Chains A and B, each alone.
Chain A
Amino acid sequence: MCVGLSARVVSIDKGTALIDASGVKRKVSAELLEDLEPGDYVMVHAGIAIARITEDAEKETDKIMEALHDGNGTGDH
Chain B
Amino acid sequence: MTETAREIIESYRGRPLRIMEVCGTHTHEIFRLGIRKILPEKITLISGPGCPVCVTPAGFIDEAVFLALEKKVLLCTFGDLIRVPGTQKSLAKAREEGGEIRTVYSPLDALETAEKNPGKNVVFLSVGFETTVPGTCLAVRKALERKITNFSILGANKTMPNAYAALKGSADAFLYPGHVSVITGTKIYEELREQGVSGVVAGFTAEEILSSLAAIVRLSGKKEPFFLNCYPRVVTREGNPAAMALIREVMQPCDARWRGLGVIPGSGLELREKYISFDARKRFSVPEMTGEGNKGCQCGRVLKGEIKPCECPLFGKACTPLKPVGACMVSNEGACSAFYQYGEN
Contact = CB atoms under 8 A, between A and B. Distances in A.
- Any A–B CB pair closer than 8 Å: yes
Contacts of B51: 1
Nearest to A55: B233
How big is chain B's contact interface, by range?
35 or more
Interface string A37-63: 000000101111011111111111110
B158 to A, nearest CB: 10
A56 B134 CA distance: 25
Nearest to B54: A1
Contacts of B229: 76-77
Interface string B319-345: 000000000000001000000000000
A34 interface: yes
B335 to A, nearest CB: 13
Contacts, number: 152
Contacts of A59: 233
Contact of B242 (A34, A43, A55, A69): A34
A21 interface: no
B254 interface: no
Contacts of A29: 106, 108, 135, 138
B207 A1 contact: no
A74 interface: yes
Contacts of A51: 182, 234-236, 240
B182 A43 contact: yes
Contacts of A24: none
A50 B203 contact: no
B25 A73 contact: no
Contacts of B138: 29, 31-32, 48
B96 interface: no
Contact of A46 (B78, B177, B212, B236): B78
Nearest to B51: A1
Given A1-B132, A45-B131, A47-B135, 12 more contacts: A1-B129, A2-B132, A29-B135, A43-B179, A47-B107, A50-B134, A57-B233, A58-B207, A59-B233, A61-B211, A66-B1, A76-B190
